[in-house]
Structure 1
Amino acid sequence: MFHRNAPLTATGRLRLARCVVEDGWPLRRAAERFQVSHTTAARWAGRYRLHGTAGMQDCSSRPHHQPLRTPATVEQQVVRLRCEHRIGPVRLAARCDIAPSTAHRILRRHHLPALAATDRATSEPVRRYERTRPGELIHIDVKKLGRIPDGGGHKVLGRAVGSPNKDRRNGAGYACLHTALDDHSRLAYTEDLPDETAPTCAGFLTRATTWFAEQGITVERVLTDNAWAYTKNTWRQTCHDLGISPRWTRPWRPQTNGKVERFHRTLLDEWAYHRPYTSDAERQAVFPDWLDWYNYHRPHTGIGGHTPASRVTNLSGQHT
């Protein structure tokens, strides 16, 4: 990468240097021809004599001698503490008696990623994957969401009046949001169901498979966690009848099913808790429009700012 104000690229530098070294041009004539100073022409000609074509690339501007650089023992301590305790620059700076900016530079110098980009259990960089075609893998998970009592909950009435999810008589309690999310396209199908028992989960899978088929997606595999309903014969038999291969995440590893987990976070931020609702029915009434916007109109940062429907063949064109 060249500096934005550099008058010459590597190709231009090479042409200038060959004019001087191989063709015998005077430095001032070459400098005038390539619109640079004679000192610049002399520098590239000298590099060409010493290093040839390889010398036409930019060199690092880092000085050869840095007497004020952080000692190597301190850098080793910062790296060790980061790997052992998985803490950020501010806490590292307090332990090593250096500035947080210095700790940050040390981490970058040793190519240690930000904590948000590492696995919490192992501190290794997160390995991201994506299936190559729609339907190759469907993520399924359940998100429990507190229902809103008639008249509004604490966000409308205040915590002193609204008692969240304790009184089930006026529409309170919990809703179980079952979601099926395509790994490749991020296309999502969600239902609000009363529980997460094995028959309920199996019925949801059947309806989700039908919905994806209507979108032109054939479900091949389904990935779930190790919840009780997904380990029963009801789930296995339903997968067998639908021609789907069931998969399960490793125990205590929700990151494997992270795409649908992230969808549920988006769902809560942009729909469930987006504004105060006076009843659960009011909130449910706007959900179909939100899901339609998510699938067909909302740019998804995980797929380069495209919409989920744009990754399914001709689906976005068929949608009105």
Structure 2
Amino acid sequence: MSHANAALTPRHRLRIARLIVDEGWTVVAAAHMFNVSWPTANRWAQRYAAMGVAGMDDRSSRPHRSPNKTDQQLVRKIVHLRWKKRLGPVAIGGKLGLSASTVHAVLVRCRLNKLHHVDVRTGEVIRRYEHATPGAMIHVDVKKLGKIPDGGGSRYVGRQQGNLNIRATAGRPKNNKRGRVAGITFVHTVIDDHSRIAYAEVHANETADTAVGVLRRAVSWFAARGVTVERVLSDNGPAYVSHLWRDACNELGIKPKRTRPYRPQTNGKIERFHRTLADGWAFGKFYNTDSARNNALPGWLHEYNHHRPHTAIGNRPPMSRLTNVPGQYN
């Protein structure tokens, strides 16, 4: 292989080969001139005579045949255990009586040594999708958060002080897991499938009336930015399977769709948004009251929609996909 200290680079291989083949030099004379061995000079001369200039490049050292290559039936078993069980080379080798290095070589050859493109639970190849235009599909869901007691929660002030704050907070639930919960906040979230533009509201419940109200206001919010909602995708929560939700969608001219039960991957964009919401807003800083956190939500959403780069859309903010829509930054 050619390297910085190689005696013959591809260019010099060509020179020595031409001296021998085209100009009639002896192999000994050419080898002496380039300070290489006779077999080296002869090899490149023969390669040049047979293949021309293309023969001067390095060739793969891979053998033409591998009589000890892992049997295809074993390869299928390795792939099956990797996909369906997500086992590593050591575990697979233990089941099949193979060395871990052999299993790893098979996984590399089959491009299964890393599982980032395989679903964690089902083992199926991940199929990513994105609707072509804003509003073609919006995702809706509810994120549940524990309320922050007056004075701050245990995440920032510690468990002992957090429990004291919960007991001192007015209006806390009576039956709340030994005083560790101040109540539940329901964040109703909406995200556009194409642009990832997000809309969210904080409420005290997740009933159908509340979910329908959020949908109506979200549709109006998107319409003000030039986006017409055509479909809405939800999970199978009670609010989204209700007749009230169905009737509201019909009234708004939206086609309701639901994910398969126990398949949150289908609604993955909003599931991932909930992680971002939690890290960036809900738990991103210290709030001494629950209302302080709720009041910070609109500012964080503006930052998310208008300024925060999103890796799924080329490291641009979601609103950048509405560049031709008048009033997009209102």
Determine if the TM-score, normalized by the shorter chain, exceeds 0.5. yes
SS at match of 1:128: coil
Q: Deviations over 1:191-225 (max 9, x none)?
A: 11111111111110000000111111110000011
> Whole-Å Cα distance in 2 between the matches of residues 246 and 56 of structure 1?
64
Q: Does residue 296 of the first structure (1) align with residue 301 of the second (2)?
A: no
Which residue number in structure 2 is paired with residue 169 of structure 1?
Answer: 171
1:213 aligns with 2:215: no
SS at match of 2:159: coil
CA contact (8 A) 1:226 1:249 kept: yes
Partner in structure 1 of residue 160 of structure 2: 160
Using the TM superposition, name which of 280-289 and 304-313 deviates more. Answer: 280-289
- Maintained 8 Å contact 2:104/2:113: no
Amino acid corresponding to residue 177 of structure 1 in structure 2: V
Q: Which moved more, 1:235-244 or 1:283-292?
A: 283-292
1:273 maps to which of 280, 283, 292: 283
Tell me if structure 2 keeps the 8 A contact 1:202–1:235. yes
Which position in structure 1 is the counterpart of 2:129? 129
Q: Which amino acid aligns with 2:320?
A: S
Identity of aligned residues (%): 46
> Per the alignment, do residues 187 and 165 of structure 1 end up closer, same or farther by CA in structure 2, a change over 3 Å counting?
farther
Tell whether the 8 Å contact from 1:175 to 1:195 is kept in structure 2 after alignment.
yes
Query: Following TM superposition, by how much is the alpha carbon of 1:246 offset from its aligned partner in structure 2, in angstroms?
Result: 0.7
Paired AA for residue 292 in structure 1: H
Number of equivalences = 293
In structure 2, distance between residues paired with 1:118 and 1:202: 35
Structure 2 unaligned runs (5+)?
A: 5-9, 26-35, 174-181
Once the two structures are TM-superposed, the CA of residue 77 in structure 1 deviates from its matched residue by: 4.9
| Distance change (3 Å), C-alpha of 1:41 and 1:304 | farther
Distance in 2, matches of 1:289 and 1:65, equals: 64
Give the distance between the partners of 2:195 and 2:59, measured in 1 at CA.
43
**Cα distance change on mapping 1:174 and 1:27 into 2, 3 Å:** farther
User: Does the 8 Å CA contact 1:296/1:316 hold for their aligned counterparts?
Assistant: no
Provide TM-score, normalisation by structure 1.
Answer: 0.76
Q: State the superposition RMSD in angstroms.
A: 3.8
Which of 239, 242, 258 aligns to 1:229? It is 239
**What are the within-5 Å matches in structure 2 for residues 128-207 of structure 1?**
128-163=128-163, 169=171, 172-207=182-217
Conservation of the 8 A alpha-carbon contact between 1:138 and 1:222: yes
Residue from 292, 308, 320 that aligns with 2:318: 308
CA displacement at 1:282 relative to structure 2: 2.2
Give 5+ residue unaligned stretches, structure 1.
6-11, 29-36
In the TM superposition, what is the alpha-carbon distance from 1:156 to its structure 2 partner? 2.9
